[in-house]
Amino acid sequence: MPAPPSSFPSALRRNTSQDPSVNSSQRKSTVGVGLRPRQALSPTMHDRGSILVEAGRIQDEESRRLSEMAFLDY
Question: In this structure, is residue 67 part of a structural domain?
Answer: yes
In this prediction, residue 62 carries a pLDDT of 95
Question: In this structure, is residue 52 part of a structural domain?
Answer: yes
Q: Which pTM was predicted?
A: 0.39
Integer Cα distance of 27 and 2 in angstroms: 16
Question: In this structure, is residue 64 part of a structural domain?
Answer: yes
CB 64 within 8 A of CB 55: yes
In this prediction, residue 53 carries a pLDDT of 92
Domain enclosing residue 72, as ranges: 45-74
In this prediction, residue 64 carries a pLDDT of 92
In this prediction, residue 35 carries a pLDDT of 79
DSSP 20: T
Number of domains making up the chain: 1
Question: In this structure, is residue 33 part of a structural domain?
Answer: no
3-state secondary structure of 1: coil
Structure confidence by residue, pLDDT tens digits, 3-57: 666 666 666 666 655 555 555 555 556 666 677 888 888 888 889 899 889 999 9
Question: In this structure, is residue 20 part of a structural domain?
Answer: no
